Amino acid sequence: MNGSDILEMDSASDQEDFDDARLGIIEGEFVYPQEFLPTYQSIKEGSVVNKVNQVEYNGKPDSLFFNDGVRRIDFILVYEDEDRKDFKKKHTFQRYKRRREYFEASLMKMGLELEATPSVHNDNLIFVKVHVPWDVQCTYAEVLHIKVPIELNKISSKPSVWTIFNCFTKYFKPDENLIKKETDYFTAPFEKDRQECFQIVNQDQFFTPSMRSRMAYYILCRAPYEVRANNKKFGITKLLDSGVYKAAYPLHDCRFNVRSEEESCPNERFLLYKEWAHPKNFYKMQPLDLIRRYYGEKIGIYYAWLGFYTMMLAIAAVVGLCCFIYGYQIQETSTWSKEVCNPNIGGKLVMCPQCDLCNYWMLNSTCDTSKTLIIFDNFGTLVFAVFMSVWVTVFLEFWKRYQAELEYEWDTVEFLEQEEPPRPEYEAKCIYERTNPVTGVQEKVPYTFCGRCFRLSIGIGTVLFWIMLILVSIVAIIVYRLAVFVSLSVSLKNAGDLKNLEPIKEYVTPQMATSVTAGILSFVVIMVLNILYERVAIWITNFELPRTRTDYENSLTLKMFLFQFVNYYSSCFYIAFIKGKIVGYPGEPVKLLGRFRNEECDPGGCLIELTTQLAIIMGGKAIWNNIQEVLLPWVKNLISRHFTRPTSENVDPPRWEQDFQLQPVSKLGLFYEYLEMVIQFGFVTLFVASFPLAPVLALLNNLFEIRVDAWKMTTQFRRNVPEKAQDIGAWQPILQGVTILAVATNAMIIAFTSDMIPRLVYYWSFSLYEGHTNHSMQGYINSSLSFFNTSDFVDTKINAQVDRNPNITICRYRDFRFPPGHPRQYEHNMSYWHVIAAKMAFIIVVEHIVYLTKFILSYVIPDVPYTIKERIKREKYLTQVILHETNLKLVTKRLKPISEGISSHLDISNKKELELSEYGQM
């Protein structure tokens, strides 16, 4: 097929028009008036269009160029040849073919160059190579505000305080012989009419491959594929969704584990794998400049944040591990745990039943639990909670400084919203006019002020509805736990000796069975709601119609995080602040819905339950996520390679076909990677008072996570379209909100979930009233347990039904209440109010101290280092000087022929006047 072949775009019949309209509804496509789209050149309806020139594969598997070896491939489009489809489906696929050929013709008219090559793996597949010529590069570099070098930066950076540690840190840096440091230039946004200002040595290499991929994708997203009258359908995204194309992606530059044989190939993917993604480099720092150059600023800033977060976690992990070791050392020497385990103290304290169908139990049965609790509930935990409250502030403030350095080095300091192009979906619906408040010019927008408010209201209402749905499901699961616990207590008791379950009979208890079934039910509900809400969140964000991709991702991020926050943390908040807090006392328990008795804490206390919950969630989530991230892409690619074997074993597949076998990049990009880390950050900060090992687990997970993500991105996925980004977007205010909430949650955990405050009140106050001459913890257990007369049970039939010992007349329970026989029996005594006052005072004092410390630190530590501010100002000044001098040279150069012409004209005039005067004298 020659490039000169043309296709006549016949006008469709009325029936075909109806079928196309109906097809558009089914595929979710939209038809937009042409005048509302960007003013790009399009082919008129009924005109002829050029077909793409198709060539055979030249047998060069490492080539990144067209068959001529000159034009570089900037993007790849993949489709199935419609002429090879079944006859029954040809009518549908012929419509796809018309759209595809019109789209490709539009691309060529917009300046792109295309070349098609059949697949060596699959006879049905055709690969279309896209090249952006120099003139088109210049046009869209200016449209996208791409910054390029104007002069070598000769400003010497001031030596950092870390320079003295270079002799140690050099072993943790990537090999500088392989990954060389980039030359530092002054940069400015490219302007097509001022090319003389820029350092253009070689046009083919001036714009990097990632820049050219951005330009190609920008054009692909805006090229029309069908025009009817005044209506236009456009964009590669819609063609991918409808199946016209199977894939669209930029090329990797080589294989990840083998250097390319092409001399001009930079082999950046190979270098990234060798020095970054390989597991042996887990201890090395990341080559962020190369990551940014190859994948773009958006991915580079994610790995920079992840690496910085992991480095800061190392400090928190060391302190948390010290607190854990301290608690482990004192678990055998703790006075109150000794009293629990003492047969003469804990062994003689009969505890009241914790449910309607439970029996009495002895306090010393919780000996092991109380020892374990000491590990996590001690004075060191209090110190660690305060330390973590300060740590999160230092982490965020120093991250802002590091981020400012990256902004300067990566030329995103002046990255404004006006520089980011609008999304095609936004441009397509611009039907209203308004005056831009910044520029003062008339522009078109897709909605009025009232329309925008309506869209936001619908979005907020939907998000709140789904959050309420999660809360309702949590309440339903709590009711389920209470109901099943009671029914299982009766059914398992009436089941005899459970001979069929002899090996596990001792483990089959009402508590175990209820926890397992409720956990499975909760997991299923969470997974179902996750799947449904993800679709709802995307639909809401599409309905809101954000202007730029950054706005789109920020809006979607906020919605998804709010949902995930409630989904993941609700069980922890329930255990920490609700469970066991409103239970009444044995004779008059509080019942949910008037029927189900509220859950009480584990005999060892709710803190140990919260610790267990956090350990299971963090450990299980980390293991499952990493297995999923490693195994799933690898298995999918293995299956794909197995079913797409080459037709000729002697032919090595080309670079574009090797990439096609890899997994496609998710439409949400790094969203799930950020979400995973931010949820982990919440576990590390919100509930760290109950689990000081959380930073240790997070550190180990992140060391593995960095290399897993790098390996996955480098070896298992196609290359993403590079995107520009200045910071981590909406995740930064989310992190700040989590840190503010963490102070309150940790203070409340220590006050209300832990036994820290009651023990301190007893040590400093109540112990002296117990007859001790000095402050002591002896007698704390007896002081913290109230008395209950078993004859005061309301339902006496339960005692007989459960076969409770009738000789037990007094049992004990956790609370501060007056004993039976007192005029105010079973009411809270003064000890209770002293403890409550101490808890409230602790929360107020700790919160004010920590918040004041956070404010001082955030004020003292500037967001942008002073040296970076100086360099930014210096660079701006020199850039203006350079551009001004260049303009003067250009003006002088252009005026020189004119001045020479004027001077020569004056000389001639003077000569003529002289001749005339001489002639007059004669």
Which comes out higher in pLDDT, residue 324 or 794? Answer: 324
Backbone φ and ψ of 765, nearest 5°: -130, -65
Instruction: Report which of 326, 189, 232, 207 is spatially closest to residue 41, judged by C-alpha positions.
Output: 232
User: Which pLDDT score is estimated for 185?
Assistant: 82
Do 296 and 215 contact (CB within 8 A), yes or no? Answer: no
pLDDT on residue 2: 42
Nearest residue to 191 via CA among 890, 892, 894, 919: 890
pLDDT at 687: 87
pLDDT of residue 18: 34
Residue 5 has pLDDT above 70, yes or no: no
pLDDT of residue 478: 76
Task: Please say if the pLDDT value at position 1 is more than 60.
Answer: no
Q: How far apart are CA 43 and CA 193, in angstroms?
A: 28
Q: Which residues contact 114 (CB under 8 A, 6 or more apart)?
A: 52, 53, 104, 107, 108, 128, 129, 130, 131
- Residue 840's pLDDT band (boundaries 50, 70, 90)? very high
Which candidate, 517, 513, 521, places its Cα nearest to that of 493? 513
How far apart CA 8 and CA 49 sit, in angstroms, is 7
Q: Six-digit token pair at 589?
A: 């328990």
Q: How far apart are CA 499 and CA 427, in angstroms?
A: 71
Residue 496's pLDDT is: 47
Residues 6+ apart with CB under 8 A from 845: none
In this model, does residue 225 exceed pLDDT 50?
A: yes
pLDDT tier at 422, thresholds 50, 70, 90: confident
Closest CA to 387 of 741, 759, 845, 846: 846
For 195-221, the DSSP string reads: GGGS--S-HHHHS-HHHHHHHHHHHHT
Write the pLDDT tens digit of every residue in 31-55. 444 433 344 456 665 566 778 888 9
Tens-digit pLDDT profile for residues 249-275:
999 988 988 888 888 888 899 999 999
Please provide the DSSP assignment of 825-850 as one string. Answer: TTSB-HHHHHHHHHHHHHHHHHHHHH
Structural domain tally of the chain?
1
Residue with tokens 């005999």: 603
Q: Which of 384, 386, 393, 374 is nearest to 321 (CA)?
A: 384
578 lies in some domain:
no
Amino acid (one-letter) located at 308: F
Alpha-carbon gap, residue 373 to 328, rounded angstroms: 10
- From the number of C-beta atoms within 10 Å of its C-beta (0-12, 13-18, 19+), residue 66 rates as buried
Mean pLDDT computed over 614-634 = 73
Mean pLDDT score, 451-455: 79
The confidence score (pLDDT) of residue 22 equals 35
Task: Kindly indicate the confidence band of residue 311, based on its pLDDT and cuts at 50, 70 and 90.
Answer: very high
Q: The tokens of 752 are what? A: 């209300």
Domain presence at residue 254 = no
Mean pLDDT, to the nearest integer, of 888-903?
Answer: 62
Contact predicate 78/127, CB 8 Å: yes
pLDDT band at residue 27 under the 50/70/90 scheme: very low
Res 165 pLDDT > 70: no
CB atoms within 10 A of CB 672: 14
Q: What is the token pair recorded at 614?
A: 């956090």
Choose between 514 and 360: higher pLDDT.
Answer: 360
Does 301 score more than 90 pLDDT?
Answer: yes
pLDDT above 90 covers a percentage of the chain that reads: 15
Q: What is the mean pLDDT of the chain?
A: 78
Q: Within a domain: residue 301?
A: no
- Tokens 């009480």 label which residue? 600
- Per residue in 244-255, pLDDT (tens digit) is 899 999 999 889
Q: What is the pLDDT, as a whole number, of residue 497?
A: 43
pLDDT at 886: 65
pLDDT band with cut points at 50, 70 and 90 for residue 556 = confident
Residue 760 near residue 378, CB atoms below 8 Å = no
Other beta carbons less than 10 A from residue 70's beta carbon: 9
Cβ–Cβ < 8 Å for 746, 388: yes
Q: How confident is the model at residue 399 (pLDDT cuts 50, 70, 90)?
A: very high
Which of 604-613, 650-659, 795-804 is predicted with the least confidence, judged by mean pLDDT?
Answer: 795-804
Q: In what order do the strands lie in the sheet with 361-362?
A: 361-362, 350-351, 810-814, 785-789
Whether residue 69 lies inside any domain: the answer is no
Average pLDDT rounded to a whole number, residues 101-107 = 89
Sequence-distant (6+) residues with CB within 8 A of 573 are none
Nearest C-alpha neighbor of 302 from the set 621, 553, 49:
553
Residue 359 has pLDDT above 50, yes or no: yes
Which has more confidence, 616 or 403?
403
pLDDT for residue 230: 63
Backbone angles phi, psi at 155, to 5 degrees: -75, 125
Please name which of 688, 851, 838 lies closest in space to residue 755, comparing C-alpha atoms: 838
Q: According to the model, what pLDDT value does residue 316 have?
A: 93
Residue 512 lies in a domain: yes
Q: Of residues 226 and 496, which shows the higher confidence score?
A: 226
Q: Using alpha carbons only, how large is the chain's radius of gyration in Å?
A: 36
150 domain-assigned: no
Contact 349, 785 (CB under 8 A): yes
| Residue 771 within a domain | no
User: In this structure, are residues 618 and 320 in contact, taking their beta carbons and an 8 Å threshold?
Assistant: no
pLDDT attached to residue 133: 93
Name the residue range of residue 488's domain: 449-544
The whole-number pLDDT of residue 490 equals 58
Is residue 116 predicted with pLDDT exceeding 90? yes
With a cut of 80, say whether residue 117 has pLDDT above it: yes
SS3 145: coil
Residue 247 pairs with which residues in a beta bridge?
78
> Is the pLDDT at 28 greater than 50, yes or no?
no
Return the higher-pLDDT residue of 94 and 386. Answer: 386
Q: Specify the pLDDT at position 142.
A: 86
Instruction: Kindly tell me if the per-residue pLDDT of 161 is higher than 50.
Output: no
Distance CA(172)–CA(169), nearest Å, equals 5
Predicted local confidence at residue 504, as pLDDT: 44
Q: Answer for the pair 382, 842: CB distance below 8 angstroms, yes or no.
A: no
Strand, helix or coil at 723?
Answer: coil
The β-bridge relationship of strands 224-228 and 231-234 is antiparallel
User: Residue 431 domain-assigned?
Assistant: no
Tell me, what amino acid is at 380?
G
The letter for the amino acid at 836 is I
Tell me how far CA of residue 586 lies from CA of 16, 578, 589, 598, in angstroms. Answer: 77, 18, 6, 12
Q: How many residues belong to the chain?
A: 922
Please tell me whether residue 495 adopts helix, strand or coil conformation. Answer: coil
- By percentage, how much of the chain surpasses pLDDT 70? 76
Asked which of 339-343, 642-646, 679-683 is least confident by mean pLDDT, the reply is: 642-646
Residue 402 pLDDT > 80, yes or no?
yes
760 pLDDT exceeds 60? yes
Mean pLDDT of 548-564: 83
Which residue do the tokens 């080309």 mark?
Answer: 654
Give the pLDDT band of residue 354 (cuts 50, 70, 90). confident
From 47-56, 537-546, 695-704, 890-899, the region with the lowest mean pLDDT: 890-899
pLDDT for 112 equals 92
Kindly indicate the confidence band of residue 649, based on its pLDDT and cuts at 50, 70 and 90. low
Separation of alpha carbons 430 and 443, rounded Å: 9
Whether 597 shows a pLDDT value over 50: the answer reads yes
Q: Does residue 846 surpass a pLDDT of 50?
A: yes
